[in-house]
Amino acid sequence: MSAIAVPKVRRKRVTTGVTLSRRAGMVFVLPALVLFAVFIAYPLFTALSYSFFSWTGIVRGDFAGVDNYVTLFTKLPYSTDIPNAFVHNLMLFFGAMVFQNTVGLGLAVLLHRMGRLKRFFQTMYTLPYLVSPLVIGYLWSLMLSPLFGPVNAVLRAVGLEEFAQPWLGNPQTAIWVVVFVTAWQWIGFPVLLYGAALGGIPQELDEAAS
């Protein structure tokens, strides 16, 4: 009888431990879920519900159904601006992702092989990631200003006046400038991510590859 009772007690203890672990995990996750629901999910669903009504300024009118969406995709200038906006978003996403992952992996490999100043450069690459995007956008708009921006000033100083232009005012360059600035700001995350992965590789594998 005692030999049969021991496994039952152990199984009960294991089950109790798993249950307590799950409850503890939910306690830690709950604040994040509340913040997500209040500041992200609720505004999204509210905005979606607003799109089914007619509006006069900020005053909500009668229920319009899908008439707003029909206008959005069939009448000018919305029918041309919406596809352009989607294309620009795709260009921003893929451009930033390619830049971040390729350059971030290369920087992570260089920092992994670096002895001294490794922490210094990791901090330097991570600093823009910690700054607010509003601050980053304002600083780069000043740097790229066609009147007093240092970028065009440096190009003129080294004899490259033909490359000095209104970077954010030219439709041909504006999207790529935004891609570059976005990738530059967030490149610290893939550098840290790839650096941690490279640090977990056993030294024996590096020696064998060499």
For the chain, 210 residues long, give each residue's pLDDT as a single digit of tens: 445 554 544 555 555 666 767 787 788 889 989 999 999 999 999 999 999 999 888 888 889 888 888 888 888 888 888 888 999 999 999 999 999 999 999 999 888 888 778 888 888 888 888 888 889 989 999 999 888 889 989 988 898 888 888 898 888 889 999 999 999 999 988 998 998 888 888 888 878 888
Alpha-carbon distance 125 to 143, whole Å? Answer: 19
- Structure tokens that stand for 105 in this block: 């992996």
Question: What pLDDT score does 91 carry?
Answer: 92
* Secondary structure in 3-state letters for 124-140: HHHHHHHCCHHHHHHHH
Q: What is the pTM of this model?
A: 0.68
Q: How many residues does the chain have?
A: 210
Domains of the chain, residue spans: 2-50, 76-200
Question: What pLDDT score does 2 carry?
Answer: 47
Q: CATH number of the domain at 76-200, please?
A: 1.10.3720.10
Q: What is the CA radius of gyration of the chain?
A: 27
Question: What pLDDT score does 50 carry?
Answer: 92
Question: What pLDDT score does 16 carry?
Answer: 65
